[in-house]
Structure 1
């Protein structure tokens, strides 16, 4: 319909207009595993978003805003001319405001950002749990609780449905923090000498990133401390094979030293 009546007259000349006078309400925003949102407890459907571009624009502004329209346009429509970028941007912005409310994205001094809305965002919650857990010693039960809550909250990769490159660094950063959380739970169990549980958490971490040599070492140590030295040696062999096949490197001196201590003890 003529590009949504020119994106509702360019969003009431940049001010956001009324977007059907729908206020935002409380938003629950999820990006781990899949991008989705709920408004006042009701899931925002695909038909309400109208287009995947609108949902992606909202997440981009949420994480990176406030930003000038030209900066956003260069990310989303780099192949278009200035007038087409303006039209495409306001069309997507109109859909965001229709889906979430008029204050979901606002403009101030030419920069677009999330308005003064009440929201909960799983990424912010996840990162907050990781930051708090880092401050505590592994012997602290609260540390294990925080690490486990972070693990539970991580529902999958950050916005896996988005292919544009802007989200790749954040996706990798969050995946690394997820591995850190898995290792954190493992370290807490290891500190309590619950080696079997620790091994399970370390294995989960290696399922995400099998090239983490430090996690292989921790797994080896736990096997050894649990009296399972044959499995500790086998863990070293897996680590060595992976490093050679994937990175064409040898295990570090620290890993080799640990292996030699374990192998010597096994032969006693």
Structure 2
């Protein structure tokens, strides 16, 4: 008889828990990565040779197979202890391996299910509940300490979903008239990504909506300092215009702004920070000026039709490409999109 399901946590750390027992240490780094990969794709049947090629590409064929068998046996000992029926956690034969989807759940799967639920319902209260569940499940970045290409791509995608959930919660609470809760979530967006100017603008607008003009002004000053120190740039004209409106209001001794001014401010922020369809990162970008300049020069050249970045896994190719694309948004009228191919295994599907 198959017992209670294992809960695999991939946010904030890699762990496996069941019946009060928590596993956080695995035989090797790659053994942990194998567990994470199988748990992240529980419905898939994985070819052994594909997994060996992905995890032990630096070993010869025989050594890679031996390492894979050792890692698989180690996971069985930890997750299918004595007395547990074979196949209750891992289903394997000579050619393929799969985690048993009936006995495993992950925090990522629950996170994405909550987000999907929030998108399906038209009931605002139900939407808020689902979004708050998703935010609660996001316990930190996806698989910290792992830097394989597929991990980095998923880390960025899931971080974007988390930030989007925070933004949607702020908007939903504003819609209910609960400006205080809207401000709480807007603050979390700014805390998660302090370089995201539109998040500061939204928080300033919400402060103004709540009549907290001084707080809105402080937020602008904070943004101005962050952008100057981190990027050497000033806030956008839209954000500066909002700050100017707030300054005028404060100068008149008013504690709040008019309804027409609120509408104008909300419109200017929305227009000034349209969605770019580029992933949002929760870590600071370490500027690589030479490569950054080369990419921008080639992408703005009429001679360039396709540009490929190559390098070691985890060297920051995706981040560099996205930041260069973000810097070129105005050159292409915002028509820049991010499409992850990390999970693609068949080149014909590109």
Query: What is the TM-score of this pair, normalised by structure 2?
Result: 0.61
Q: 1:25–1:144: structure 2 CA closer, same or farther, 3 Å change rule? A: closer
Q: Any gaps of 5 or more consecutive residues in structure 1?
A: 1-21
Equivalent in 43, 50, 74 of residue 71 of structure 1: 50
Distance 1:221 1:229 in 2: 9
1:134 maps to which of 110, 119, 138: 119
Q: 2:64 aligned with 1:85, yes or no?
A: yes
Q: Which runs of 5+ in 2 are unaligned?
A: 81-85, 253-350
- CA–CA separation in structure 1 for the residues paired with 2:201 and 2:138: 25
Distance (Å, rounded) in 2 between the aligned partners of 1:140 and 1:125: 20
Partner in structure 1 of residue 30 of structure 2: 53
Do structure 1's residue 35 and structure 2's residue 35 form an aligned pair?
no
Question: Secondary structure of 1:99's match?
Answer: helix
Aligned length: 244
Counterpart Cα distance in 2 of 1:245 and 1:172: 24
CA contact (8 A) 1:97 1:105 kept: yes
CA distance in 2, matches of 1:116, 1:126: 17
Q: Which of 193, 197, 214 is 1:209 aligned to?
A: 193
2:16–2:24 contact (8 Å) kept in structure 1: no
The higher relative CO (CA closer than 8 Å, separation ≥ 6) is in 1
**Distance in 2, Cα, partners of 1:213 & 1:136:** 30
Match of 2:140 among 117, 134, 156: 156
Note if contact 2:47-2:96 (Cα within 8 Å) is conserved in structure 1: yes
Displacement of 1:174: 2.0
C-alpha distance in 1 between matches for 2:195 and 2:48: 40
Q: How does 1:227-246 map to 2 (within 5 A)?
A: 227-246=211-230
Q: Relative to 1, partners in 2 of residues 1:42 and 1:230: Cα closer, same or farther, differing over 3 Å? A: closer
Cα displacement string for residues 72-103 of structure 1 (whole angstroms, at most 9, x for unaligned residues):
23332222111111110111111122222342
Deviation at 1:177, TM superposition (A): 2.1
- Structure 1 residues 234, 136: CA separation in 2 closer, same or farther (over 3 Å shift)? farther
Residues 201 and 191 (structure 1 numbering): CA distance in 2 closer, same or farther, change over 3 Å?
A: same
Q: C-alpha distance in 2, partners of 1:67/1:80?
A: 20
Contact 1:223 1:231 in 2 (8 A): yes
Is the alpha carbon distance of 1:45 and 1:233 closer, same or farther for their aligned partners in structure 2, counting shifts above 3 Å? Answer: closer
Residue aligning to 1:106: 91
Say whether 1:119 aligns with 2:104.
yes
Q: CA offset at residue 123 of structure 1?
A: 0.5
SS of aligned partner of 2:34: helix
Query: RMSD of the alignment, in Å?
Result: 2.8
